[in-house]
Amino acid sequence: MTKKMRLDQMLVDRGLVESRTRAQALVMAGLVFSGEQKLAKPGQQLPVDAPLDVRGRDHPWVSRGGIKLAHAIEHFDLDPRGAVAMDIGSSTGGFTDVLLQGGAEHVFAVDSGTNQLAWKLRQDERVTVLEQTSARILTPDMIDRPCDWVVCDASFIGLAKVLDRPLQLAAPQCRLVALIKPQFEVGREEVGKKGVVSDPALHRRVCDEVRAWVEGLGFTVQGIAQSPITGPEGNVEFLISAERSAPRD
């Protein structure tokens, strides 16, 4: 039997809204859809893999996650026009949406979950949907075009684990933009109540460790910036931008 969950809680869990209060307001305003069906009750029980989409919002992306990548593109002066990208941990597709609206040619949306990608992206011929797919077991048959961008907003796993395989498959010359989440990088004993890492010293240590790991893969790190929005329970998160140059003959 498929597990079910309240609609307002699902909207929060997928990063479509920041709180259940906001979710309830959007549902009551008639802005929440599953496919083409408008959903009218915040407490409605839906299958956990039901497609969800919020139409009409205070930002132009399919989820709040898009705010993070849009900030990185502006902050680091990046240009995704013509890019072929892997979106690791695509979820609802905020990062994918930002890339496509920014002129990317194609995006491979990779996520271990099911039916989370927004309906408009699922129907877009520029998107290859790779759901129920762990980034750690990607193959060249799945990623069948050279990717010169890799973006990542993954949860419950450290970047070194989730990005190892995608970066092996990426083009020799590629751009990496990834969200650093201290709560998934530190040891369990360093995570506080409700899964929050609040110590700035731990933030600095994690960012330094991720920088060193990325540089060890042959990337030049352009910089690390704090995300403009927090993660679950107010966790501070960071964006790293790095570039790997093609080897010289």
Question: In sequence order, what are the residues at sequence separation of 6 or more whose Cβ sits closer than 8 angstroms to the Cβ of residue 157?
Answer: 184
| Polymer length in residues for the chain | 249
Instruction: Name the DSSP letter for residue 80.
Output: -
Of residues 225 and 22, the one with the higher pLDDT is 225
Residues 118 and 208 in one domain: yes
249 belongs to a structural domain: no
pTM confidence score: 0.78
CA distances from 241 to 34, 146, 167, 229, 232 (A): 34, 19, 14, 17, 22
What range defines the domain where residue 12 resides? 4-54
Instruction: Please indicate whether residue 72 or residue 20 has the higher confidence score (pLDDT).
Output: 72
CA atoms within 13 A on the CB side of 116: 26
| DSSP 8-state code for residue 193 | G
Is 158 found in the same domain as 223? yes
58 falls in which pLDDT band (50, 70, 90)? low
Same domain, 193 and 109: yes
Please report the pLDDT score of residue 249 as a whole number: 53
First vs last C-alpha separation in the chain:
57
**77 or 195, greater pLDDT:** 77
Core vs surface per residue 124-142: b (16+ CB within 10 A) or e: beebbbbbebebeebeeee
> How many domains is the chain partitioned into structurally?
2
